[in-house]
Amino acid sequence: MRVLSLILVLCLCAPAVADQKVYKTVGPNGEVTFSDTPTPGATELDVKPAPSYKAPPLPTPSTTPADQSAGQPGQHQAGGSYKLVSILAPADDATVINTPGDVQVTVLVEPPLRTGRGDRIRLLLDGKAVDTGEKPNFSLHNVDRGTHHLQAEVIDRSGATLSQSSSSTFHLHRPSVHLPGHQKAKPAPKPKPKP
């Protein structure tokens, strides 16, 4: 075990000793000693330098606004004044548990939605428009159980898409009303009339 530890230390220090000579001596009881000084009966070891890797330089990011907006997925260039459209809730790949199938959706738009010029948010569920509004919060009702894809778009007064979010996935679990714990409460018994 001691020999293995010494070899490990030697390997870790290889870059430091790459230009130096290393000697190995085996004692009368089989004990191995490494040194940078030759001793009688020592053998010189051929220590190769450790491999190294030099990473290529990173590309410098462009600082022009046109280049920055071009790199964002779904950014519409003609009226693309929205830098970010994102679905905050439900989180991507989240599981929503709701027996009636209600899903609360929150959309982030930056800069804030320009309602004065008629811009609105259109919410798409599995590729179909399900709601449009000026507020960032939406309530979807009676959504089928299973996996669904959400996407939000900022649209102008004519319905043209100005910017859109990437697709977000959520999984809806609707527990059965027939399972224990989800039974309807029994009506309270009627009071008996007094004689």
Say yes or no: 106 and 156 in one domain: yes
Residue 24 shares a structural domain with residue 92: no
CATH label of the domain that carries residue 153: 2.60.40.10
pLDDT digits (tens, 9 = 90+) for 64-120: 444 444 444 443 334 457 888 889 889 888 888 887 888 889 999 898 888 888 899
Domain housing 80: 72-173
The DSSP annotation for the chain comes to -HHHHHHHHHHHTHHHHTTS-EEEEE-TTS-EEEESS--TT-EEE-PPPPP---PPPPPPPP--HHHHHHTSTTB-SSS----EEEEEESPTTEEEE-TT--EEEEEEEESPP-GGGT-EEEEEETTEEEEEESSSEEEE-SPPSEEEEEEEEEE-TTS-EEEEPPPEEEEEE---TTSTT-PPPPPPPPPPPP-
**pTM assigned to the model:** 0.49
32, 93: one domain: no
Asked if residue 166 and residue 93 are part of one domain, the reply reads yes
Number of domains comprising the chain: 2
Residues 16 and 99 placed together within one structural domain of the fold:
no
